[in-house]
Structure 1
């Protein structure tokens, strides 16, 4: 007689209502903290800045900058040429050069328009209230200017969230679509490649937000999406549906606001800037900026972070696929041969 399985217990409606009432405000509070806290606490924190020129002339400038405790990380250079090279190699965001005519400022608005503006303001002499106009502003040379189509960097900063959403969507669709093993890996990498090509076509060819090598930019966009999608799908393979939620938390609620793409990681409150650079959105935006505007200078670290995420995600997908692979159906036993009929008695 077949045994009827016991019905699975259902959560009472009152508990589900209570869960919604509690979880939604908690998620709203978490999102508000993650997005609003860094935005309202932006200030230079150990921001790499160069000081160039003879020691006697550069010492007062260095002393003036170090008077703002913890704001700048000073790098000394012998002359303007060395400082300019450091800016182009993304070793510093800018440099103050001591000259006989007074200090001059080298910036790279392509590295961060917000930082370039902040440095110019930091070196502008302050005029006391009611006093006549003071000394003129410090001359500024933009060594690596931002694209004319995105002079304020708003387009570049706005590119992080679409990449994050694309990666999360790819990882979730692969997971919930039941793809496993090699098929899941192929879907993740294929979607990431197409997103990279589409993103480069839009941001470079159409909007003019990116101005570097087209194929290199497409590769960075694809690697960023692959790291995110692989991470989400890998977490799902290891943790189930809770893994997708964890991926959304890491990528969208933390990775996006902590990326520093709209300004710089060193402008975010600690440890948000550091955490953001260890997550795919922050590493992807840093690598994309290096490839698009600085001929790849400073791209090694972010590339390593993205590669680790992608490799670990693909590995988790493969391991999880083996664990959840259906066992082969047992073969039906061969029918027993019928016994020969007894011979009739005579």
Structure 2
């Protein structure tokens, strides 16, 4: 691209193209972060059911009639089995008839899903009964008393994402040499993961559970995002920084399920989002804080996979000119 002479104003065409391009990017950002909320609706939310026949069949039919396609019912033999399923994140809650009636929810998994399941009192409360006869709602996995609405936990993930993205951009542009970039990445991962976990768990008290696991998950989230940016920068030059930013910020973040459960996002994007660093981080840190019995190996695998892929990409492309140069802008020529 032809560069303007020093002191000369940019061409009018360049101004128009740049302005239009930036407006398009701003619009794309708005669409990416707005459309999941606009089109969010529950579909296939897993919910447990403890009831004998024929009540079980009657309740399933009533759910499908009142809330068509919103729930996927999984039957359990007793209340204890339903509670264990909630703690293992197999279901968001349960309808208990045998030994009840009672509704079980887990606000630690999602306040929105808990409200949805808690509103099913009509299924267990036939017409004509008074409000006092409605079944109790038990929160099996409540949120932290310091974050009763879950707003702090939802807000926690966005700065973590920005920290990884910002760190990756600064390392990719400001540090020369692939080995030194990766060394800086290690330092960033260790310090950022520890610091973020300290603030989230001890200062704001929105995280709970194992501190070492929270620190490791936070650091690995930063590493996965930053390593992706570094690897793409080595491959494509400075354009790779833009590619990495779009991949993480505009693709992975809106479908991460940080504010809405996976089952509320348009299909299949909620499931796809769990294979990106933001989505895996959201599920992993939530599980560490509230669901220590739930399996977390898939989330660890996703974050480690992105981190290793970014580092390998950086190493394999370390001899490319784009990996060694500071800028794609040609140096200015000296005037004799």
Please report the TM-score for the alignment, with normalisation by the length of structure 2. Answer: 0.87
Q: Provide the secondary structure at the position in 2 that maps to 1:311.
A: helix
Mapped contact 1:124–1:138 kept (Cα < 8 A): no
Bigger-Rg structure (1/2): 1
Q: Cα 1:318–1:71, aligned 2, differ >3 Å: closer, same or farther?
A: same
Q: How far apart are 1:285 and its partner, in Å?
A: 0.8
Aligned mate of 2:261, from 252, 256, 264: 264
1:70-219 → structure 2 map (5 Å cutoff): 70-99=69-98, 103-124=101-122, 136-219=133-216
- Three-state SS of the structure 2 residue aligned to 1:99 is coil
Structure 2 equivalent of residue 340 of structure 1: none
CA contact (8 A) 1:224 1:281 kept: yes
Unpaired stretches in structure 2, ≥5 consecutive residues = 5-9, 325-336
The answer on whether the counterparts of 1:167 and 1:229 sit within 8 Å (CA) in structure 2 is yes
The equivalent residue for 2:33 is: 35
Alignment match of 1:298 (pick from 295, 301, 313): 295
Alignment correspondent of 1:46 = 44
In the alignment, what sits opposite 2:306?
A: 309
The count of aligned residue pairs is: 315
Query: Which range moves more in the overlay, 53-62 or 106-115?
Result: 53-62
Shift of 1:206: 0.9
State the shift of 1:154 in Å. 0.6
Unmatched 5+ stretches in structure 1: 1-7, 327-346
Q: 1:137 and 1:239, CA in 2 relative to 1: closer, same or farther beyond 3 A?
A: farther
Instruction: Please give the alpha-carbon distance, in whole angstroms, between the structure 2 residues aligned to 1:133 and 1:22.
Output: 61
Alpha-carbon distance between aligned partners in 2 of 1:284 and 1:296, rounded to the nearest angstrom? 17
SS at match of 1:50: strand
Q: Residue 88 of structure 1 contacts residue 144 of structure 1 at CA under 8 Å; is this kept in 2?
A: yes
Deviations 1:294-334 (A, max 9, x none): 115131111111111011001011112133477xxxxxxxx
CA distance in 2, matches of 1:195, 1:178: 18
Aligned in 2, Cα 1:300/1:180: closer, same or farther, shift over 3 Å? same
The answer to whether the 8 Å contact 2:59/2:123 transfers is no
- Aligned mates of 2:301, 2:293 — CA distance in 1: 13
CA distance in 2, matches of 1:180, 1:196: 24
Superposition pairs of residues 221-236 of structure 1, within 5 angstroms: 221-236=218-233
Question: Could you report, residue by residue, the CA deviation over 1:8-53 in whole angstroms, capped at 9, with x for unpaired residues?
Answer: 7337612221222211221122111111111122221211111112
The alpha carbon displacement at 1:125 in A equals 6.2
Instruction: Name the Cα RMSD after superposition.
Output: 2.3
- C-alpha distance in structure 2 between counterparts of 1:132 and 1:81, whole Å: 27
Q: Distance in 2 between matches of 1:159 and 1:64?
A: 38
1:89, CA displacement in angstroms? Answer: 0.6
For residue 61 of structure 1, what is the aligned residue in structure 2? Answer: 59
Structure 1 stretch 13-22 or stretch 144-153: which is displaced more?
13-22
Name the SS of the counterpart of 1:233 in structure 2: helix
| SS of residue in 2 equivalent to 1:162 | helix
